[in-house]
Amino acid sequence: MKRIRKIITIAILSLTGLCVVLLAISALANQTLPARSDSVEALSMFDKARLAETRHLLRELGGEVWPGWGEVDFPMIAYNEEYAFLVGYPNPPEGWFKVPAGNRRGIAWEPVPDDSFMGETYYRQHLSSVTPEAFTVMVGERWVCSLPTFDWMKIGLAQTIRADLPSFLQPVFPYRLFITQLVSGDDQYISLTAHECFHAYQGFLADEKLAAAENANAQYESQYPWENEALHANWQAELDLLADALRTVDPVQSLEFARDFLKIRAARRSSAGLSAELVAYEQKREWLEGLARYAELETWRLASVNSYLPVPETGNLPTFGSYRGFEQRWKNELAQIRRMADDDGDGRFYYSGMAQAYLLDRLSPDWKNTAFDEGIWLDNLLQSVVQKHQ
């Protein structure tokens, strides 16, 4: 017995010592975390390569993801801690408009001195208290996709995580490791840019529908019963069914999973007493963010399976994998679907909407023809498919 206690004591001390060492290593690594972008007053060579690749990727494959998407060149805004940069828009009018509120923000755009993007002049403006945000905005009459530069995205994530942590964890938390799980590298950043460009396409084709989906979040997110335990359990069942449906390759099984998903969804909404407005809130957010998530992933998937050639500039990117990492990303997304019932906020709708879109690809190949129509939502389209096969 004494020998066993000694072994246990040694094991505990060893584990404690290992934890102390790991925390010390993490604390030392955190001292080298960047607090400022490498290039602030102009786009870096890497920034330009990522934006050029996004433009090329959407031209080549956007139409396969969604009819007509590849035919529209959307200008892009990339911003860091001090400047917003606008590419693909010669002689732009002043500032930008927040979507959907329509508030004018920013100041006049100026040409970036002694620099160019793909042989063209690009523009910048110094930021004060507001940024264009990661979404879509309007510059003049044009829809523009907007997001932080890769460097500033990672710095901003680290700052946000740090601010949410207890003070005793802030020095030792493994920020780099955690951020890598959120943004794995250049391939994912490019797909995230595609996500925001799909929002621009949604606004371009269905501006009132986009506005309704954004306004619904502002109006109903605080009213949604996120803490309702029964609602949570039923959401978990829905998300599990969607994950199972995407894992199977059998179309008959996919249809059965879709049927069960819709039954549980209807029962959940009824038992929780969700108002028509809250049901519409779910549907609108699935349409807005779920479809953009679908476009983000489908763009990456197509680039990984087609004989697609990235722009030569991507050869200089430090973490670009030529989209070969899609299978791992897809496995991560399928696993994440099941965890989103615990998310307090509209993050679950990104996944439930994305999963329904992929299900519709399997069960109703022409579903995209009406998906942007007024009053048409993803679960409506899925219900129509299920009813046809009864």
Number of H helices, E strands in the chain: 13, 8
- The token pair at 313 is 């500039």
Q: Give the Cα separation of 225 and 343 in Å (integer).
A: 12
Contact 173, 161 (CB under 8 A): yes
Instruction: Give 226's pLDDT tier (boundaries 50, 70, 90).
Output: very high
Distance (Å, whole) CA 150 – CA 82: 14
Tokens of 98: 């927040």
Rg (CA), the chain: 23
What count of residues does the chain have? Answer: 390
Q: What is the pLDDT of residues 91-147, one digit of tens each?
A: 999 999 999 999 999 999 999 999 999 999 999 999 988 899 999 999 999 999 999
Q: Which residues contact residue 385 at a Cβ distance below 8 angstroms, ignoring those fewer than 6 apart?
A: 255, 258, 360, 363, 364, 367
pLDDT tens readout for residues 55-75: 999 999 999 999 999 999 999
Of the pLDDT bands very low, low, confident and very high (cuts 50, 70, 90), residue 153 is: very high
Where does residue 23 rank: exposed (0-12), middle (13-18), buried (19+ CB within 10 A)?
Answer: middle
Better pLDDT: 328 or 1: 328
Return the closest-CA partner of residue 109 out of 67, 77, 65.
Answer: 77
Q: Is residue 12 predicted with pLDDT exceeding 80?
A: no
**Does pLDDT of 370 surpass 60?**
yes
**pLDDT per residue over 269-308, tens digit each?**
999 999 999 999 999 999 999 999 999 999 999 999 989 9
- Predicted TM-score of the model (pTM): 0.92
Query: What per-residue confidence (pLDDT) applies to 169?
Result: 87
The rounded distance, in Å, linking the Cα atoms of 41 and 96 is 19
Q: How far is CA 315 from CA 73, 135, 184, 297, in A?
A: 23, 28, 17, 22
Residue 284 to residue 86: CA distance in whole angstroms: 29
Rounded CA separation 175/27 (Å): 10
DSSP string, 284-327: HHIIIIIHHHHHHHHHHHHHHHS-----GGGGG-TT--TTTTHH
Edge-to-edge order in the sheet of strand 104-105: 104-105, 96-98, 135-139, 142-148, 76-79, 83-87, 123-126, 110-111
Q: Which residues of 24-42 are buried (b: 16+ CB within 10 A; e: fewer)?
A: eebeeebeeeeeebebeeb
d(CA 304, CA 317): 17
Task: Indicate the burial class of 70 (C-beta count within 10 angstroms; 0-12, 13-18, 19 or more).
Answer: middle
**For all residues of the chain together, what is the average pLDDT?**
91
